[in-house]
A and B are shown apart, each in its own frame.
Chain A
């Protein structure tokens, strides 16, 4: 759990461009001290009296003890909210709520971990890598994106990981292709015991398939459109199979964003599977026992 989330007015300490992304470091003591790898924060965008009533979810890239605690996140401009965030400057204030969601579970034993990141999804993997290495786990990275300027954290991955494999769809950096193309080779080479992944849903689906092929667990941090980030609006749901074998529409924000990959019914995201609990026509039987 990691303690209950806080709402804080944070002050932007620094902003910088990192390739296609904007990195913001914000003084947010209550959040930094409760943070665990995999947590995210939600940000109000547009300032006081904003016409944008929903919050934006952002993964926490880094926390540092400076100024009582800072959090850093990495923003890709998508629409008006992220564009507003990209315009923030030092000393601006931000309304943050966090840490939110369920963090990555950590292995008890020193095992071999492959960390897979797509686009800005890799932002969430570095704090995880630190935590894994403190437990004497081996960490290898596979990072990918559409193009070189969208691969986030390649330098840091090279510094931190035993090996780092990069892929781009246009071939502008590393191997041409997708992370799932190279992942089987990496898993074999490093004798991986577990895969951690964060990135677009299509990537998570492919990474999970690799994990299933090798019969090793995959922990995925999913991304679903969110309005509240705290579990009250029920807009961020996806079909996930529970311990009892029953598929439920669960909240990515409060029940996730981290799930066991093989429990997420990726093929059925965006639908209500007929056998989900409460599906029209009376679903809910344990058809998908794993």
Chain B
């Protein structure tokens, strides 16, 4: 049985952070939700882990978590990485909330660099740990300037850098953290998620919250907001392609893949999202995935060649 959390038999407040600071963070989150994609400065208080190691995500999680929440945390798609385990233990220790690996059962999910493959619903919040919140940083070093550029929607240099990337590499080569236009107003960095996940930010049912602890910024995408990856008329945004590739554990495709190498240098593909993979392998069911046109194309191609094995 999980012991319930009592105010006076603990050395710290519920969810570790004191109530006034939590209130400050929630106020900033409300502002962020009101201005989708806009970076709101916040206090970023000291935590028992170093800034830049998920503190921003943790601030958000601990400020919004309630006693009835069911908490899940993933690190690059995995519930079981050292980082995920430690942060899950920590959140559990300071809140006594239920924790889970099951994406569908969770009400609050903290993530590092992935959106779960399973579609999130209107009862769920996804909290991103963000290392660098400023999408314009690569083209402008100074914070005062980038804030002015956002204020005036002056995104010329951002666009030129995409043009330059296309000229040099033949593609808008933004590996992870592909910049998006939120609600037709602010260019936003979705944190280093793969391009595979980017379309799922658009018109979702769930609430997305972003916390950058080291940079002291919060931002948000409320449910049902337009989120459009930057693209040209003739050079379009594309997600990662895994042509004809199947997961070596589940035998299926249509999900973001890891390449795993063994000592002999051979590699195989495995679905990156550990909970999604578990459900495929152990429960023999394919959870409801996001519906976006990019994924739909992948699934259609997969279903057209059902026997293909990697």
Whether chains A and B associate is no
